[in-house]
Structure formats: structure tokens, C-alpha cells
Structure 1
């Protein structure tokens, strides 16, 4: 069984500014700083933030399921502002998903705002199709809103 989920979040930050954060390791640092109690702790296992980088997310205590996941960045495309990662260990892999891939794309809305398109593609054995309901874009949406708010405040304070 294959599935796809997608959700757009509008943020009041220019696309170039959002992409500078999303394409780099700064995204994980901001996730720690702004959402450590919600998303968990993000640490780089290997790499410099480019394709092939592996990050480990340790989920907050009380989070159901496996306590962590490792994700490898498989695509970083500056032209279309797209970052893709695939869970390679823990997380959704440990509960039966064969493939769990996340995509974050920053789309220019206008000069002062952008859209963060969060999407998930997954594959899971048909016998485990009830597990497919666990697939979600929610953590990425929460992250987009928090980072957007943080960057907007930072931009406003420099005006």
C-alpha cells in the first residue's frame, strides 16, 4: 500500500529567508530551541547538512511508539527550494512502514510571504494498512508555523 499526504502552511516570511533556514542545519537547531518539548531533540549523526546528512530525532518522553528516528537527507534542490528526507531507522520504520519520506518545499507567495508545503510519501505492507493512519504532516506543520513566527519576529526587530 502506498500513500501521500500534503499540507500547506502560509508564513509571513519571504521564501528566500525561509529556504535559508530549511536547507541548512539551522532548521534542526530551531526545532530544538522552539519545539524541543513537542518535536524532540535533533542532532546531526553525520554530514554537513547537504544530501547524505543523517540526523537523529529523539522524541520527547511520553511520545507513543519508538523513542527516536534517524532520517537521511536525499534531495536538497535550491532551484525549487525542496528538501527531502527518508526515515532510515526507528520511527515509522520500526512500526512497519517500508518507506517513509518527508518533503518540505518553500513556495513564494508574494514578496513578504511564502507557503511551506509539507508532504509525506509512504509504503506499508497491505497487512498493516491500519498503521497507515499514523502517517502525518502535523510535526512539519507545527515546525513551519514556529519557524515562520520566529523569523517574522526576527525580521521585524531589524527594521
Structure 2
């Protein structure tokens, strides 16, 4: 069973500035700091921030789970020209609940020279026998990421203006 969840936010910063965050490892640091204690830990396992980079995340358990959830995600696509980044869970996490795919996609779209839209998407696929696990997928992680990164980007913009 395939599904997706979308969340978009507009930010009053240039698309290039937003991509400097979303297209790099800095995103993990900002998310960890901004979403603590929900995101307990983010560790670089391998890579330099390019395609193939693997992070290990420790997050608060989803509804119905016991204890923190630990999983690895891999950067599977980074397109600096189109400003698109995709990560997929490759070990643990929701894969342990019958998911065969859990992908987060980030896209930064220029609106004008001083603003952009950040499009966030979760794509997932779950085995038919575990279809009830699909209820674990909500827009909350996307909303949290968007809130934290928007605040960070606006803070950086204001700091650079002074």
C-alpha cells in the first residue's frame, strides 16, 4: 500500500539560502537542536553529506511503539540545480513495522529573489499485512522540520542583515 503526505511552507529568504541548509548536513544539526527531545540524537555514520551519506537517528517512539526508535537513513538523491534532496530509511525504524519504503523529499522552489517555498513530502509503502501501520504516518514530522528550519533561516537572515 503506497501513500504520501505533503507539507509546504513559504519562507522570506532566497531559495539559495534555504538550499544551503536543506542540501547539506547542517539540516540534521538544526533539526536535532530544534526538535529535541523528539529527535534525541543524529549521528553521521558514513559520507560527507552527498548521495550515499548515512545518518543514524534516535527519535521518540511513534504511537504504539515502546522506547525510542533508532534507524538509519541514506541520502539517495541530491540535485543542487533543482534543489531536491531525498532520504530513505534503510535500516530499523518504520521498516520494523512492515514498511518497505519510507522516503522524505525536500524541494526548495524559488518564488522571487527574496522568498521561496519549501515542499516536504513523505512517501511510504507498507506491506498489505501491515496496512494498519500506515496510521503511524502523519504530517507532524514535516511540520516540525518546517517550523524549526524556517525559524533558523529567518534568524540567519536577520543576523546577516545587522
| Residue equivalent to 1:43 | 43
| 1:118 corresponding residue in structure 2 | 120
1:128 aligns with one of 120, 127, 130: 130
Kept after mapping to 1: 8 A contact 2:13/2:115: yes
- Determine the structure 2 residue equivalent to 1:86: 88
SS in 1 for 2:38: coil
- Range with greater deviation from structure 2 (126-135 or 21-30): 126-135
Q: Is the 8 A contact 1:12 1:152 kept in 2?
A: yes
TM-score by length of 2: 0.89
- Which deviates the most, 82-91 or 2-11? 2-11
Q: Distance in 2 between matches of 1:12 and 1:41?
A: 29
Change (3 A) 1:158 1:106: same
**1:50/1:137 Cα in 2 relative to 1: closer, same or farther (>3 Å)?**
farther
Report runs of 4+ in structure 1 exceeding 4 Å deviation: none
1:100 Cα shift?
A: 1.0
Taking the aligned partners of 1:72 and 1:112, their CA distance within structure 2 comes to 31
Match of 2:34 in 1: 34
Q: CA contact under 8 A between 1:105 and 1:118: conserved in structure 2? A: yes
Say how many residue pairs are matched. Answer: 158
- Root mean square deviation of aligned Cα: 1.6
Give TM-score scaled by structure 1 length. Answer: 0.91
Q: CA deviation at 1:63?
A: 5.2
Which residue does the alignment assign to 1:5? 5
> What residue ranges of structure 2 are gaps of 5+ in the alignment?
none
Q: Deviations over 1:38-79 (max 9, x none)?
A: 23311111100000000011114x654352111000000011
Check whether the contact 1:11–1:149 (CA below 8 A) recurs between aligned residues: no
